[in-house]
């Protein structure tokens, strides 16, 4: 982004400071290093200014400022983008993390959440009403990036993707206009926001449809890493009730108290269950999990729904070094299972993981052209990532994940989930949107002809 490389001069900074009510943090000021940091430590950038917006007015002012000054604009919600799109060198970071208000209407089962909420904020607020919607499985992930990219989680088989539960959004677009969009109002923008990522503007508030989900049967069950366990998992997903969320995890045994020490650091696979059906069927679910293979450790019990989304939090704090690849697949071909076993056994660290999200059920009942998220025929979405404590180690293991992704490719669909892609996957954007790419380009031209919102898996206008 060298064409944008410049710092704010005093008068320009003062102009921005007078129109923004939230915080304006510049290089050299107290708190700058904290303000410029994002979740993935691979991205160590130095913006000219970080605006922590207090409200939609600040978002409008910052968008107008960045556009008029011809500066790069990075929009940040939860800051979990593995590509580091929530920051940039020399430009303006619009950080929404102060905008975390949530209002729940239990009568219409709707929640309005400001653009900077995390899933921890959201789940806590809706759980008080015995309600929930599909969100991320690590609670510090932002609703903003996750929902606009699609949004997979424990409830996806039953309730669809996060974006399928979006009923309206308030958006600030590149010319500074504030637009409310729904299926009926600014419908093309609403269509694009449901899968098209941050390409179209800044969502200051999302409204979601909620579902009756309160306490669940959930938690991980670990097995030795073995192709037969994975084949039985594949059958479990094909046959089971959609109220069973069951992520597959392949990696090294974490040092958890319920896992015997001899399995710590050894290759394992695990099923992270989230059963939202009646408690009277809990024993059936336990029996299905026991039938997958020899259990080496299990932490399965009744818990409030928000808790299942915090079980990975401690293992994955901000500040680790990540590099990701993603795939979509129809079913789970034997060749993919062989790759999971071979490359899973070589997982470079306890934090590194292969996570397979089942996205059948309700996700399949949305037509492929109904939202920008294109892969309604995929059964699984896989995220592969070496996650390490130093940059050098992460770089050293990029080859592992690239070879792993290449081994999965013959058994995968052409595109993959934009939220599981890294910087060097920009060339795959067209195939990630498949049949929806041309319409996205048309809408991008209408709302952001100069590509102000380019720090994302970019749909060029
Ligand atoms: P940010 O870095 O803040 O933003 C990411 C992108 O979204 C940027 O391009 C940004 O401009 C845009 N954006 C953010 N907020 C807004 C907004 N309000 N309006 C417009 N654009 C916005 N994905 C899943 O689907 N399911 C999971 O369970 C899941 N788990 C994850 C766990 C971890 C530990 C990590 C690192 C990622 C996970 N992801 C998951 C991927 C995740 O969906 C993406 O990283 C997503 O971009 C994160 O959103 P964010 O708001 O935290 O990110």
With a 6 Å cutoff on the Cβ, whether 380 touches ligand 1 is no
Give the integer Cα–Cα distance in Å for 77 and 8.
23
Q: How far is the CA of 388 from the centre of ligand 1 (A)?
A: 20
Please enumerate in sequence order all residues whose Cβ is within 8 A of that of 293, keeping only pairs 6 or more positions apart, or say none: 223, 224, 226, 228, 229, 232
Give the model confidence (pLDDT) of 88-104 as tens digits: 999 999 999 999 999 99
Q: How far is the CA of 281 from the centre of ligand 1 (A)?
A: 34
With a 6 Å cutoff on the Cβ, whether 394 touches ligand 1 is no
Q: Report which ligand 1 atom has the smallest distance to the Cα of 381.
A: 25
> What local confidence, expressed as pLDDT, does residue 3 receive?
38
Between 427 and 333, whose confidence is greater?
Answer: 333
- Kindly state the DSSP code that residue 84 receives in the 8-state scheme: -
Please enumerate in sequence order all residues whose Cβ is within 8 A of that of 18, keeping only pairs 6 or more positions apart, or say none: none
What average pLDDT score do residues 243-252 get?
98
> What local confidence, expressed as pLDDT, does residue 6 receive?
54
> What local confidence, expressed as pLDDT, does residue 24 receive?
96
Give the integer Cα–Cα distance in Å for 137 and 155.
10
Average pLDDT, the chain: 96
Q: Report which ligand 1 atom has the smallest distance to the Cα of 96.
A: 18
- For a ligand 1 pocket test, name from 419, 425, 453, 458 the mutation site with the most ligand atoms within 8 angstroms of its C-beta: 419
Give the model confidence (pLDDT) of 14-35 as tens digits: 889 999 999 999 999 999 999 9
Give the integer Cα–Cα distance in Å for 284 and 261.
29
Buried b (16+ CB within 10 A) or exposed e, 60-82: bbbbbbbbebebbbbbbbbbbbb
- For a ligand 1 pocket test, name from 63, 87, 91, 144 the mutation site with the most ligand atoms within 8 angstroms of its C-beta: 144
- Kindly state the DSSP code that residue 142 receives in the 8-state scheme: B
- For a ligand 1 pocket test, name from 123, 146, 418 the mutation site with the most ligand atoms within 8 angstroms of its C-beta: 146
What confidence category does residue 423 fall into, taking pLDDT thresholds of 50, 70 and 90?
Answer: confident
Give the integer Cα–Cα distance in Å for 90 and 93.
9
Q: Write down the residue that tokens 């050894």 correspond to.
A: 266
Residue 160: is its pLDDT beyond 90?
yes
Residue 75: is its pLDDT beyond 60?
yes
**N- to C-terminal Cα distance for the chain?**
18
What confidence category does residue 311 fall into, taking pLDDT thresholds of 50, 70 and 90?
Answer: very high
Domains detected in the chain: 3-95 (3.30.43.10), 102-212+434-447 (3.30.465.10), 215-430 (3.40.462.20)
Residue 138: is its pLDDT beyond 60?
yes
With a 6 Å cutoff on the Cβ, whether 142 touches ligand 1 is yes
Could you tell me where the DSSP H helices lie in 100-171? 119-127, 143-149, 156-159
Nearest Cα residue to 147 out of 216, 60, 78, 94: 78
- For a ligand 1 pocket test, name from 136, 165, 189 the mutation site with the most ligand atoms within 8 angstroms of its C-beta: 136
Residue 2: is its pLDDT beyond 60?
no
With a 6 Å cutoff on the Cβ, whether 421 touches ligand 1 is no
Count of beta carbons in the 10 Å neighbourhood of residue 365: 12
**Residue 364: how many CA atoms within 13 Å on its side-chain side?**
13
Could you tell me where the DSSP H helices lie in 97-142? 119-127
Compute CA distances 271 → 274, 282, 420, whole Å. 10, 15, 20
Residue 56: is its pLDDT beyond 80?
yes
Contact 181, 203 (CB under 8 A): no
Q: Report which ligand 1 atom has the smallest distance to the Cα of 118.
A: 52
Where are the strands (E) in 398-449, listed by range? none
Give the integer Cα–Cα distance in Å for 129 and 106.
7
Kind of pairing, strands 211-212 and 131-132? antiparallel
> What local confidence, expressed as pLDDT, does residue 9 receive?
79
Give the integer Cα–Cα distance in Å for 84 and 138.
17
The per-residue DSSP string of 291-330 comes to TTS--SEE--EEEEHHHHTTTTTTTS-TT-EE--EEEEES
What confidence category does residue 7 fall into, taking pLDDT thresholds of 50, 70 and 90?
Answer: low
Q: Write down the residue that tokens 């939090």 correspond to.
A: 313
Which of 12-16, 133-137, 345-349 has the weakest average pLDDT? Answer: 12-16
Give the integer Cα–Cα distance in Å for 423 and 390.
19
With a 6 Å cutoff on the Cβ, whether 87 touches ligand 1 is no
With a 6 Å cutoff on the Cβ, whether 76 touches ligand 1 is yes
Residue 4: is its pLDDT beyond 70?
no
As beta bridge partners, residue 283 has none
The per-residue DSSP string of 48-109 comes to SEEEE--SHHHHHHHHHHHHHTT--EEEESS---TT-TT--SSSEEEE-TT---EEEETTTT
Percent of the chain with pLDDT over 90: 94
Q: How far is the CA of 349 from the centre of ligand 1 (A)?
A: 23
What confidence category does residue 5 fall into, taking pLDDT thresholds of 50, 70 and 90?
Answer: very low
- Nearest-CA residue for atom 7 of ligand 1: 145
Nearest Cα residue to 258 out of 241, 244, 270, 275: 270
């Amino acid at each position: 982004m060298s064409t944008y490389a410049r710092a704010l001069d005093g008068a320009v900074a003062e102009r921005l400071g007078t129109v923004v009510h939230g915080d304006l943090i510049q290089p050299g000021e107290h708190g700058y290093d904290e303000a410029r940091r994002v979740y993935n430590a691979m991205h160590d950038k130095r913006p000219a200014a970080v605006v922590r917006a207090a409200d939609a007015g600040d978002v409008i002012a910052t968008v107008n400022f960045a556009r008029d000054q011809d500066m790069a604009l990075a929009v940040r919600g939860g800051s979990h983008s593995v590509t580091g799109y929530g920051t940039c060198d020399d430009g303006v970071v619009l950080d929404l993390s102060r905008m975390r208000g949530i209002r729940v209407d239990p009568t219409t089962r709707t929640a309005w959440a400001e653009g900077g909420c995390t899933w921890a904020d959201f789940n806590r607020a809706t759980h008080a009403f015995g309600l929930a919607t599909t969100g991320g499985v690590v609670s510090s992930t932002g609703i903003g990036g996750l929902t606009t990219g699609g949004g997979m989680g424990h409830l996806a088989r039953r309730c669809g993707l996060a974006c399928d539960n979006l009923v309206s959004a308030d958006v600030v677009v590149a010319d500074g206009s504030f637009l409310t969009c729904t299926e009926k109002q600014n419908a093309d923008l609403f269509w694009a926001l449901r899968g098209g990522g941050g390409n179209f503007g800044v969502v200051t508030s999302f409204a979601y449809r909620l579902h009756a989900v309160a306490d669940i049967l959930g938690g991980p069950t670990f097995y030795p890493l073995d192709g037969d366990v994975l084949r039985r998992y594949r059958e479990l997903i094909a046959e089971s009730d959609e109220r069973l969320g069951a992520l597959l995890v392949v990696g090294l045994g974490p040092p958890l108290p319920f896992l015997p020490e001899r399995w710590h650091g050894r290759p394992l696979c695990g099923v992270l269950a989230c059963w939202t059906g009646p408690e009277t069927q809990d024993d059936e679910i336990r029996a299905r999990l026991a039938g997958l293979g020899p259990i080496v450790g299990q932490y399965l019990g009744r818990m409030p729904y928000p808790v299942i989304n915090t079980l990975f939090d401690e293992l994955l704090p901000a500040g680790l070094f990540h590099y990701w690849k993603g795939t979509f697949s129809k079913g789970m071909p034997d060749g993919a299972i062989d790759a999971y076993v071979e490359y899973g056994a070589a997982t470079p660290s306890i934090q590194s993981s292969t996570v397979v999200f089942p996205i059948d059920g309700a996700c399949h009942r949305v037509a492929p052209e109904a939202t920008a998220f294109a892969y309604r025929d995929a059964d699984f979405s896989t995220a592969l990532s070496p996650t390490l404590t130093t940059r050098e180690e992460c770089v050293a293991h990029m080859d592992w994940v690239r070879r792993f992704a290449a081994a999965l490719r013959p058994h995968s669909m052409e595109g993959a989930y934009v939220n599981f892609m890294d910087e060097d996957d920009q060339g795959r954007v067209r195939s990630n949107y498949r049949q929806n790419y041309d319409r996205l380009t048309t809408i991008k031209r209408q709302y952001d002809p100069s590509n102000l919102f380019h720090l994302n898996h970019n749909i060029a206008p």
